[in-house]
């Protein structure tokens, strides 16, 4: 979808004039599969939940993920389990409005797709209609392969997600790295192959020991997106607030590229000081009477 309209930027801080360019497509993302040896330019993916965040990330990313991690990041929930379709739709629509370049992928929340392929189609179709996103992401391996095929065959692009699957935290018993035993490693590889062969256009590999991620990347035809996996994956994704340093506690696999929480705290401290000393507002921020 290309941006062919002009927005009046004088009326809303949320709508700067977009640069004219065509949005990337799902087939273009799938075609970016590397050779499994670190060749090719890796895909860049970050999470986004709001218009303004999407605007800032969009020029630098190939994909924006409206992750169900918003349950924890935005709503302060203990896990992703309570996230609803309505939450995903509201934030997904905002991210689509704030982007014009990246492929927007939206998570299907827990309980919205597991019951049957038909239920998954109903949920996914509703999400895409409500948001304008290009694709959905769902967790699970071999058990979800028929659902991936069902959606793909009916025109809904699907991104898979294997390894550490946060929606299964209760069954997994926590967020520790997966694949440390030979049996579990073999299952994760089989899961990735199953969803890829079912038609997934990409597969997220989360929280696994590195040899598993490398093996999967070399053995499936669609791109792999690593998060706590390996630099040899075909791309990488992180929760934006984690990589910007908004939280003190993050997973081992997160690299903090900034200390945004520290800078925000310093700015607010200065604001509070200026308000209390009556230094703000100053002459630059008040309206003087007209002569």
Instruction: Please indicate, yes or no, if residue 37 is contained in any of the structural domains.
Output: yes
How would you class 3 by CB atoms within 10 Å of its CB: exposed for 0-12, middle for 13-18, buried for 19 or more? middle
Instruction: Please indicate, yes or no, if residue 185 is contained in any of the structural domains.
Output: yes
Instruction: Please indicate, yes or no, if residue 268 is contained in any of the structural domains.
Output: no
φ, ψ of residue 204 to 5 degrees: the values are -80, 130
Q: What is the pLDDT of residues 69-115, one digit of tens each?
A: 999 999 999 999 999 999 999 999 999 999 999 999 999 999 999 99
pLDDT of residue 135 exceeding 80: yes
The pLDDT value given to residue 6: 45
Structural domain that includes position 102: 26-259
Instruction: Please indicate, yes or no, if residue 103 is contained in any of the structural domains.
Output: yes
| Bind-site residues for Mg(2+) | 68, 107, 139
Quick one: CA dihedral 95, 97, 102, 107, positive or negative?
positive
| Bind-site residues for 3-methyl-2-oxobutanoate | 68-69, 107, 137
Instruction: Please indicate, yes or no, if residue 290 is contained in any of the structural domains.
Output: no
**Contact residues for 250 (Cβ-Cβ < 8 A; gap 6+):** 242, 256
Q: What does pTM read for this prediction?
A: 0.90
DSSP letter (8 states) at residue 177: -
List active site positions. 206
| Bind-site residues | 68-69, 107, 137, 139
Asked if residue 189 lies in contact with residue 238, where contact means CB atoms within 8 angstroms, the answer is: no
Q: What is the pLDDT of residues 161-214, one digit of tens each?
A: 999 887 866 666 565 677 789 999 999 999 999 999 999 999 999 999 999 999
Question: The domain that contains 232 carries what CATH number?
Answer: 3.20.20.60
pLDDT of residue 21 exceeding 70: no
């Amino acid at each position: 979808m290309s941006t062919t309209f002009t927005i009046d930027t004088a009326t809303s801080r949320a709508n700067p004039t977009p640069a004219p360019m065509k949005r990337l497509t799902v087939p273009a993302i799938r075609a970016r599969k590397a050779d499994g040896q670190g060749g090719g330019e890796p895909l860049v993916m970050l999470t986004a939940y709001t218009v303004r965040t999407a605007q800032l990330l969009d020029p630098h990313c190939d994909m924006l993920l409206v992750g169900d991690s918003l349950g924890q990041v935005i709503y302060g929930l203990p896990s992703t389990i309570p996230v609803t379709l309505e939450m995903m739709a509201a934030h997904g629509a905002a991210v689509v409005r704030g982007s014009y370049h990246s492929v927007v992928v939206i998570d299907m929340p827990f309980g919205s797709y597991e019951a049957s392929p038909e239920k998954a189609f109903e949920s996914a179709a509703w999400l895409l209609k409500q948001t304008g996103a290009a694709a959905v992401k769902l967790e699970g391996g071999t058990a979800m392969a028929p659902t991936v095929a069902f959606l793909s065959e009916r025109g809904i692009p699907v991104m898979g997600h294997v390894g550490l699957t946060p929606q299964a935290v209760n069954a997994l018993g926590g967020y520790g790295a997966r694949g440390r035993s030979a049996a579990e490693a073999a299952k994760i590889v089989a899961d990735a192959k199953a969803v890829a062969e079912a038609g997934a256009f990409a597969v997220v590999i989360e929280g696994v020991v590195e040899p598993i991620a490398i093996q999967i990347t070399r053995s499936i035809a669609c791109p792999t997106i690593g998060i706590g996996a390996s630099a040899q994956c075909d791309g990488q994704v992180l929760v934006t607030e984690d990589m910007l340093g908004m939280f003190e506690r993050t997973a081992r696999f997160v690299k903090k590229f900034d200390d945004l929480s520290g800078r925000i705290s310093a700015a607010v401290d200065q604001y509070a000081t200026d308000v209390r000393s009556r230094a703000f507002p100053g002459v630059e921020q008040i309206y003087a009477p007209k002569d």
